[in-house]
Structure 1
């Protein structure tokens, strides 16, 4: 888990369904069923009843009885008893069928051959957008091995939004000297910076993120010079990973086209007069495999980024109209080799020996968004509790 922070110079319950039929319902069903069965059991007819039956049979043979005489009260009573019996059986049976239909896992084994797909589908239900800092890390996901078909299996990110859909600027409003349209444009430019720096396929393969750089005020000459050096000749002091997500295409490739994204963006009147401050905090999850034919082992790298952006009033500041200024950019990368400064993230695979320096920092959960990234945290590379 690597930490990189830079200040720019000058700057979700519902109740669970029952897992079985309650004992009292089942006992009532057994008692009522036995009583009805005893009541409906056939009895040996008396001698008088046999004489009556024989006389009626002879009358029927001579055609002396009307049609339908057999459907008398006794047969109707037997029908009523059968209906009562099915009513007693049907209620608990309906309850049991409803439970099994909603949650097949209550049955032992896998009688329907689902393999638990129903539970997995429920667990992958998309989360609503994040509007505030969560109060705790995401719950542990089912321990499933990621595959080429399901690269986010076993990860909380399986329920996160796909790519740019996970970056939703808030509704804009006028702030100080800025109209609603100006604030809206600054929010959209912040999204552009995040998308082009962390989701654009060319950027991920190591290309120069020109569209991301284009929204940053060109008057931030020191920042542009620093990022330009980092992209051309990366080293420990000029690391492009502080702003951009990049993987060596000769080493790994992305699985599919989806990067999972979760976070939030806020704005408020700026700390400096006649300005607007925008705060963005997002986590990106990248599933990758080795860049070799037939590779199937999937691992994930998790990157959290924090951006503080400022929109200046050009009537009072030397700023370029229609551009945003980067005040702070911070980054934590989980599951990437420690102390490697070649400008690329280096995911670690379970089947291979670790590369880079041994971790010296604490073990952290890269999916935990309940805590802010501390500006003063030690710049040490730790390990992750899950990927």
Structure 2
């Protein structure tokens, strides 16, 4: 994974500058020192593939009118991959320089009128895989009033409005209404697992669990175990976004969301749904703190609504085939079932030092679920 960084412009400072060279040099030195001391930490990817899935055979499929053929896809639960992530110092210095002297950037990248920030114009819905990470956002420090300041997520949709379903159409012999049901059930799973305030505050994801097929071996049992007794191998964060309310709480009511859902004919006679979404959570420490930081969670889910006339499944319930998660700004190697965001003024927590590559948690063009080691991130 590569760390996308802003290119710094060079050139002579206009003679009208009111900052002397000596003051400017001292500013740069102080900025680099402070950033190294207080850069927020955060982790990178962890992926999980469901332990069971349907498998057909040539001719009459295995389980025809008797039950699905379930088989392990990739062993037991995949490990959660989480790491310290330090904001890249050169990038942070570049942002600070631009904030102080925007004349270093040619043209007028932030618009000619400071009061009308075109960078806050909502983005259209994502319809295809991005080809690159979002460009650098206008500099800003997150606050309670502006929790997404300095983040490209400022232009993303708010909450469930960001989960836009494609128009359902028939898939050969599969009628339109079954496609619509598969899409709606997937959306219900995503919304409850990642946007329900009670779930985000550590509550039980009842609606999300209700759309999953209880006849799929181990999946619900594993999820129930993870909620009851979190561990490295049974971690609810594989599928649900949760913060410990004793430690942190959301800064405001808005979670920013960006991603897309697609559908196709599945391998098991039903509707296959692919979902890829990133959720950005601004949070503060519990107890009255006003210092805001952000945790970024990306989820990729593959599910299917199998043909109930060919397989022994629960009609209308989803079969999970894969669920990968990639979390940014949460301490490494803590497996208590909660995300643990790091704050600039906070001493690092977690046991693992960063050893993996640097990533941009906003980069939706990259694959997730490939990285084992703790890594670093370029921005939050």
Q: Place the TM-score, normalised by the shorter chain, in its bin.
A: 0.7 to 0.9
Tell whether 2:349 aligns with 1:307.
no
1:39 is aligned to: none
Check conservation: 1:289, 1:298, Cα contact below 8 A: yes
Which structure's residues are more often helix, by fraction?
Answer: 1
2:229 is aligned to: 233
2:314 is aligned to: 320
Structure 1: 4+ residue segments shifted above 4 A: 102-105
2:360 is aligned to: 365
1:22 is aligned to: none
Aligned counterpart for 1:379 among listed residues 361, 372, 378: 372
TM-score after normalising by structure 2 = 0.72
Aligned counterpart for 2:340 among listed residues 342, 346, 361: 346
Give how far 1:275 is off.
2.1
1:4 is aligned to: 46
Aligned counterpart for 1:289 among listed residues 280, 284, 291: 284
The structure with higher relative contact order (CA 8 Å, sep 6+) is: 2
Check conservation: 2:44, 2:377, Cα contact below 8 A: no
2:247 is aligned to: 251
Give how far 1:8 is off.
1.5
Pairwise CA RMSD: 1.6
SS at match of 1:212: helix
Give how far 1:135 is off.
1.0
C-alpha separation between the residues in 2 aligned to 1:103 and 1:185? 44
Structure number with greater Rg is 1
Give how far 1:177 is off.
3.3
SS at match of 2:299: strand
Give how far 1:369 is off.
0.5
C-alpha separation between the residues in 1 aligned to 2:337 and 2:268? 37
C-alpha separation between the residues in 2 aligned to 1:103 and 1:336? 34
SS at match of 1:211: helix
Segments of structure 1 that go 5 or more residues without pairing to the other structure are 12-99, 106-115
1:231-275 residue CA offsets vs partner (Å, 9 max, x unmatched) = 0000101000000000000101101100000000001111x2412
SS at match of 1:117: coil
Aligned counterpart for 1:180 among listed residues 167, 176, 181: 176
Correspondence 1:167-206 to 2 at 5 A: 167-206=163-202
1:69 is aligned to: none
Correspondence 1:140-219 to 2 at 5 A: 140-219=136-215
Give how far 1:371 is off.
1.8
How many aligned positions are there?
A: 282
C-alpha separation between the residues in 1 aligned to 2:292 and 2:183? 34
Alpha carbons of structure 1 residues 273 and 290: separation in structure 2 relative to 1, 3 Å: closer
Segments of structure 2 that go 5 or more residues without pairing to the other structure are 1-42, 54-107
C-alpha separation between the residues in 2 aligned to 1:194 and 1:385? 26
Give how far 1:324 is off.
1.1
1:163-204 residue CA offsets vs partner (Å, 9 max, x unmatched) = 000001110111143210111011010000000000000100
Give how far 1:380 is off.
2.0
C-alpha separation between the residues in 2 aligned to 1:337 and 1:127? 31
